[in-house]
Structure 1
Amino acid sequence: MFETLEIERDGGIATVWMNRPDVHNAFNAQLIADITAACQQLDADETVRVVVLAGRGKSFSAGADLNWMKAAGEASFEANVADARKLAGMLRTLSEMATPTIARVQGAALGGGMGLASACDICVASEKAIFATSEVKFGIIPSAISPYVIRAIGERQSYRYFQTAERISAARAGDLGLAHEVVAPEALDDKVAEIVAALMQGGPKSQAAAKDLIRAVANKPVSDAVVEDTSQRIAQLRSTPEAKEGLSAFLDKRAAAWVPQA
C-alpha cells in the first residue's frame, strides 16, 4: 500500500497510478518515495512483465508541488541536496528498471512530469497531452530530469525548451521523439494495450538485456571495445534457457513459454 499511488495488477501487467489528482499529481517527498519503492518492488517481481505509469485525474503530472518547492527553497543547502538526490534517485530507478515501462500521458506532463515520461522506455500520449520543461519560469533549472529529457528529445532541442519553457503539444512531442505514439483520447488505453501485447511476446530476460545494451552503446563511437562488448553480450545470451526456448518455439511454430495463453 502506498499513500500517493494505486497499483492495479492484470496478469503480468502492473499499472502504477499516481493518485494526487487534486494537485495534478505534483511531486512531493511522499510521491517521490512511493514511486521509488513501487519501482523497486515491481522490478523484483518476476511475474510483472510490463509496468504502465499513469496519473489519475486530468493531468499525468504537473511536476513539483509548489508548496514543497517553496519549503525546499527555505531549507538549508544540505537539506536541498538531500531532496534533490531523492528526486534524481527516483527517476534513475524508473529509468533503469529491467522491466519494460510505458508512460500513459493523458494530460499535462510538466517539469518533473515530462521527466517521468522521458524516463519511461515508451511514451503514449493523448492528443490533449501537453509537455514542458517549465522550471526557468520559477527561477530554477530542469536538473534532475535533464539526463532523460535530453535522451528523449536531443541536445539541440533541449537548448530551446530548457530556456523558453514553451508548452509542447502532443503532436510536437511526437515530432521530437518524446512520444512514440499520439492518439485520440478515447484511443489511449487501446494503444497502450496494443504495445503491452507486443511486449508480452518478447523474452523478459532478453528485453532487460536489450535495455542494458542501449545504455552501453548509445552515443559511443564504434570502437574495438564496443564491438567486443556487443559480441560478448550476444554470445552470453545465445546459451541461456530463454534463448533456447525462443528458438525452439519458432522452429516448432508455437508460442514461447513466456507468451500469455489466449
Structure 2
Amino acid sequence: MIRVDKHPTHWTLWLDAPATRNALTADMVQTIHTTVHSMASDTTVRALVLRGAGGHFCAGGDFSSFQDMMATPAPSQGIDPIATANRAFGLLLQQLQRSDVMTLAVVQGAAMGGGCGLAAVCDWVLADHTASFGTPELSLGLPPAQIAPFLQRRLGTSRSMQLMVQTQRLNALQAFEHGLIDELVQDVDTGLQAWQAHWQRAEPAALRATVQLLRKGQAADSLNNTLDFAAQQFAASLRSGTAAEGLAARQAKRSPDWTRT
C-alpha cells in the first residue's frame, strides 16, 4: 500500500490504496516512517514528494481501524492503546516536519482528516483543481487530535478553528486562499518537473543545511506535550458512545444524534 519511486534528486512516496482513497492504516503509517528514516541516510536526496494513487491524495484514517480500536477493552491502568496508535501518526508528522530534506505534497482529489494534516505538514503543497481539503472529525464525534497543531502552524488559529469547527470541504481555490495550497496548477506533473529542476541546481549538502536552518526557526518544545495530550483526548472520544454514533451515522448517511439536541 506504500510504494517508493527513487529519482536522482528526490524520492516519491506513493500512498497506494485506491479502493479506500488511500486511507491510512497503522501499517501504512509505520511503512512511511521507516521509508523516511531510511531516506535520511542517502545524502544525495534533496527532497521527499508525497502523492496519492488513483486520483486522491488521502481520505484520512481508516474507519475500519476505528471500529477495531473501539472493540478493544480500555486498560485498567497505563496508556490507552488507542492513544498510542493515534500518537504514532503524530510522530510521523513530527518526523516529516523535522526532515533534513524539503518535503512536497502533490495533492489531487481528496485530502481529508489525517490526509489534510499529512499535506499541511509538508513544506510545499502543489495541487491541481481537483483537490479538496477538510477535517470532518468533529462530525464523527472525534477531535482532529494529531493534525490540529500542524494545521494551526500553517493556517493560524482563526483559520484552523474555522476549518475544524465548520467541518466543510474546501475546494482547490478555497484551499489556496486559506493557505493549505501553496501552488495551484493545471497539471501537477508539470509543476513537479519545475521543482525537480530547482532541486537539480541545488547542491545537496547546502540544500540540507538550508532546510535545517529553517527547521530550527520553527521548532517548538511544547509540541510533544500537545500531541501526547491530543492522543489521550482522541482515545477518550473514540471510547465514548459519541464516536460510535458518529461513525454509524456516517455509514448510514444520516445526521448523528447530537445534531438534534
TM class, shorter-chain normalised? 0.7 to 0.9
Is the contact between residue 111 and residue 131 of structure 2 (CA under 8 Å) also seen in structure 1? yes
Cα separation, 1, equivalents of 2:199 and 2:157: 29
Measured after TM superposition, the shift of residue 218 of structure 1 is 4.3
- The equivalent of 2:237 in structure 1 is none
Measured after TM superposition, the shift of residue 196 of structure 1 is 2.4
- The equivalent of 1:121 in structure 2 is 123
User: Is the aligned partner of 1:212 residue 2:209?
Assistant: no
Name structure 2 gaps, 5 residues minimum: 221-261
Q: List per-residue Cα deviations over 1:223-253 (Å, max 9, x = no partner).
A: xxxxxxxxxxxxxxxxxxxxxxxxxxxxxxx
- Larger of the two Rg values belongs to structure: 1
Name structure 1 gaps, 5 residues minimum: 221-262
Cα separation, 1, equivalents of 2:11 and 2:64: 30
- The equivalent of 1:51 in structure 2 is 48
Q: How does 1:77-226 map to 2 (within 5 A)?
A: 78-184=80-186, 187-218=187-218
Q: List per-residue Cα deviations over 1:115-169 (Å, max 9, x = no partner).
A: 1101111100110100001111111111111222111211110111111111011
Letter in 2 for 1:60: F
Q: How does 1:241-260 map to 2 (within 5 A)?
A: none
Measured after TM superposition, the shift of residue 207 of structure 1 is 3.0
Letter in 1 for 2:114: G
**SS of 1:123 mapped into structure 2:** strand
Measured after TM superposition, the shift of residue 200 of structure 1 is 2.9
Letter in 2 for 1:47: T
Cα separation, 2, equivalents of 1:162 and 1:130: 14
Cα separation, 2, equivalents of 1:57 and 1:91: 23
Cα separation, 2, equivalents of 1:29 and 1:83: 7
Measured after TM superposition, the shift of residue 205 of structure 1 is 3.2
**SS of 1:44 mapped into structure 2:** coil
Measured on the aligned residues, the alpha-carbon RMSD in Å equals 1.7
Q: Normalized against structure 1, the TM-score is what? A: 0.77
Is the contact between residue 99 and residue 204 of structure 1 (CA under 8 Å) also seen in structure 2? no
- The equivalent of 1:252 in structure 2 is none
Moved over 6 A (4+): none
Which piece of structure 1 moves more, 16-25 or 211-220?
211-220
Cα separation, 2, equivalents of 1:139 and 1:215: 34
Q: Which has the higher contact order (CA 8 A, sep 6+)?
A: 2
Cα separation, 2, equivalents of 1:36 and 1:44: 14
Q: List per-residue Cα deviations over 1:41-92 (Å, max 9, x = no partner).
A: 1122112222111011021000001011122233326111110121111111
Letter in 2 for 1:206: A
Cα separation, 1, equivalents of 2:138 and 2:182: 26
Is the contact between residue 61 and residue 110 of structure 1 (CA under 8 Å) also seen in structure 2? yes
**SS of 2:40 mapped into structure 1:** helix
Q: Normalized against structure 2, the TM-score is what? A: 0.78
- The equivalent of 1:38 in structure 2 is 35
Cα separation, 1, equivalents of 2:100 and 2:111: 24
Q: List per-residue Cα deviations over 1:163-196 (Å, max 9, x = no partner).
A: 1111011111111222111112xx1111011122
Cα separation, 2, equivalents of 1:214 and 1:48: 18
